[in-house]
Amino acid sequence: MADSTVMEKLVSLCKRRGFVFQSSEIYGGLGSVWDYGPLGVELKKNVKDRWWRAMVHARDDIEGLDAAILMHPRVWEASGHVAGFTDPLVDCRQCKNRFRGDDPRIKGTPGEPDAQCPVCGTRGSLTAPRLFNLMFKTFMGPVEEQAAVVYLRPETAQGIYVNYQNVLNASRQKIPFGIAQIGKAFRNEITPGNFIFRTREFEQMEMQFFVAPEAASEWFERWREWRMQWHKDLGLTPARLQWHQHGPTELAHYAKAAFDIQYEFPFGWQEIEGIHNRGDFDLTRHQEYSGKKLDYFDQAANRRYVPFIVETSAGADRVALTTLVDAYREETVEGETRVVLGFHPSIAPIKAAVLPLVKKDGMPEVADRLYHDLRAAFPCFYDDSGAIGRRYRRMDEAGTPFCVTVDGETLNDGQVTVRERDSMQQVRVAQAQVDAYIRERIR
Ligand code: GAP
């Protein structure tokens, strides 16, 4: 299957099965903004829940935070985003398409007569690159004037930095410690695309770990290892994960060192998470711009310092896309194509489907009771329409790991058939044991 075909099939499946819809579709859609449907919202929530459990609940050195999207405009001056969060923008005067100045498809130097538009092929039609700030602006209060400009945050990290002392004092943590946050971020990307890979509104899962300056490199290495393991534990194929180290020209203005975790998408190896050693850049800048001291007093060592920060920053939408791409497969079973989303059971939107074999002979009543019992423990789906084979296929396509079928025998022996999605193997399980059986396997 060609790589572009995989993405096309996935986008179509996501719409058909209610994972992801185009935003404002009935109005023709809004560029690179997407909505999550019933299955998609569960998938993304499961990804975020796993991240929160690993980063906050399973550790006693990380606290959670939920900072507002709107922040004081000076925050973005201090962070460097007003001056430096820009992309070079190039227009084609001929076909009116717009590109990033560093688009590898552009031949020649934009603005020069030799430069060739990658879409219409015209020579000399590309403008010289203009710097374009990626932050969305809006106005606070009734008057739309420069003094009222506020930004939609382009990253969640700054909400953590400005709250670092609040959290430190309220939680009585000591350095080394971290603050974790999941929240929306907005970037007016010039060339968004590849479905939910690069969008203008997205969610980040970021953690900032505050450490003594001399300990930063060591913590950086630890976080690199832990974060890669987290993606593997999500069920992603290890061979499709790799590290990419930022060279000196790639490093963001705040970073002393940076590694990306990349995944091999159908459109190439791409970043899904960044791990950065940000040094003392952020707190020093906020100290300078706010006039408030943000250093830390280490009582044991009797010394003051501005903490260094090791950041782990992943996109929830990008990780959700990664799980979809990694899970998608087509198989031929008895001469027919079976489409499967082979999610790790812990992130599957629906954990089990309950299916009465036929809609008579007391089977629907038993199935309905079982469905309500199981629904109290995990997300379930009840389906009594169509041939059983077709119902199994529908659940395979939704990524549901278990189908529980109530048949004629159930009424005699109190057992049901549990069919496992990947192996398609079926086992008989006592009705009273189904909950425990599935729970053990989705953990
Ligand atoms: N605080 C650091 C920071 O924001 P980044 O590399 O710009 O670093 C971190 O972004 C992660 O956020 C990326 O690895 C990606 O998963 C996600 N991300 C960034 N821009 C995105 C976009 N336009 N659409 C979807 N996810 C995005």
Q: Report angle CA 334, 340, 345 to the nearest 5 degrees.
A: 130
pLDDT at 104: 86
**Distance, CA 431 to ligand 1 centroid (Å)?**
46
Decide if 433 contacts 384 (C-beta within 8 A). no
- By CB atoms closer than 10 A (0-12, 13-18, 19+), residue 250 is exposed
- 3-class secondary-structure state, position 427: strand
Give me the phi and psi of 187, to 5 degrees please: -140, 130
pLDDT at 319: 98
- 3-class secondary-structure state, position 194: coil
Decide if 407 contacts 361 (C-beta within 8 A). no
Strand 352-356 and strand 380-382: the pairing is parallel
**Nearest atom (ligand 1) to Cα of 189:** 23
Residue 39 has which token pair?
A: 């299955």
Q: Which residue shows structure tokens 């079926």?
A: 426
**Nearest atom (ligand 1) to Cα of 197:** 25
**Distance, CA 9 to ligand 1 centroid (Å)?**
25
Residue 17 has which token pair?
A: 């099965």
Residue 369 has which token pair?
A: 């009771």
pLDDT at 318: 98
Nearest-CA residue for atom 20 of ligand 1? 198
Q: How far apart are CA 122 and CA 145, in angstroms?
A: 40
**Distance, CA 298 to ligand 1 centroid (Å)?**
33
**Distance, CA 429 to ligand 1 centroid (Å)?**
45
Q: Report angle CA 84, 87, 88 to the nearest 5 degrees.
A: 120
pLDDT at 443: 81
**Nearest atom (ligand 1) to Cα of 157:** 1
Decide if 186 contacts 315 (C-beta within 8 A). no
Does ligand 1 come within 6 angstroms of the Cβ of 317?
yes
**Distance, CA 209 to ligand 1 centroid (Å)?**
18
**Distance, CA 314 to ligand 1 centroid (Å)?**
6
Does ligand 1 come within 6 angstroms of the Cβ of 201?
no
Nearest-CA residue for atom 22 of ligand 1? 198
Does ligand 1 come within 6 angstroms of the Cβ of 202?
yes
Q: Which residue shows structure tokens 């430096």?
A: 84
Per run of 10 residues, the mean pLDDT along the chain (length 443 residues) is 82 97 96 96 98 98 98 97 92 93 90 94 94 95 91 98 97 96 96 90 98 98 98 98 94 90 97 98 98 96 97 98 98 94 97 96 96 97 96 97 97 96 97 96 88
Q: How far apart are CA 409 and CA 74, in angstroms?
A: 70
Decide if 135 contacts 79 (C-beta within 8 A). no
Does ligand 1 come within 6 angstroms of the Cβ of 415?
no
Does ligand 1 come within 6 angstroms of the Cβ of 155?
yes
Does ligand 1 come within 6 angstroms of the Cβ of 313?
yes
Q: Report angle CA 24, 68, 158 to the nearest 5 degrees.
A: 110
Strands (DSSP E) found in 37-117: 62-65, 86-91, 98-100
**Distance, CA 56 to ligand 1 centroid (Å)?**
20
Closest CA to 13 of 137, 159, 163, 195: 195
Residue 227 has which token pair?
A: 């974060």
Find all residues with CB under 8 Å of 283, minimum gap 6, and list them: 161, 164, 294, 295, 306, 307, 309
Residue 359 has which token pair?
A: 């809609």
Q: What is the 3-state secondary structure (H, E, C) of 135-173?
A: CEEEECCCCCCHHHEEEECCCCHHHHHHCHHHHHHHHCC
**Nearest atom (ligand 1) to Cα of 315:** 16
Residue 353: how many CA atoms within 13 Å on its side-chain side? Answer: 26
Nearest-CA residue for atom 9 of ligand 1? 313
Residue 128 has which token pair?
A: 């010289």
Q: How far apart are CA 172 and CA 67, in angstroms?
A: 19
Decide if 156 contacts 185 (C-beta within 8 A). yes
CB count within 10 Å of CB 22 equals 18
Query: Which of 33, 152, 205, 271 for mutating ligand 1's site (highest number of atoms within 8 Å of CB)?
Result: 271
DSSP-derived letter for residue 403 is E
Q: How far apart are CA 299 and CA 286, in angstroms?
A: 23
Query: Which of 51, 318, 323 for mutating ligand 1's site (highest number of atoms within 8 Å of CB)?
Result: 318
**Distance, CA 315 to ligand 1 centroid (Å)?**
6
**Distance, CA 199 to ligand 1 centroid (Å)?**
10
Q: Which residue shows structure tokens 């705040």?
A: 254
Query: Which of 34, 204, 250 for mutating ligand 1's site (highest number of atoms within 8 Å of CB)?
Result: 204
Q: How far apart are CA 419 and CA 357, in angstroms?
A: 13
pLDDT at 193: 78
CA 220 to chain centre: 21
Does ligand 1 come within 6 angstroms of the Cβ of 318?
yes
Q: Which residue shows structure tokens 């717009």?
A: 98
Amino acid at 229: Q
Q: How far apart are CA 397 and CA 394, in angstroms?
A: 5
Determine if residue 18 is left, alpha or beta; phi over 0 gives left, psi from -120 to 50 gives alpha, anything else beta. Answer: left
Q: How far apart are CA 106 and CA 90, in angstroms?
A: 10
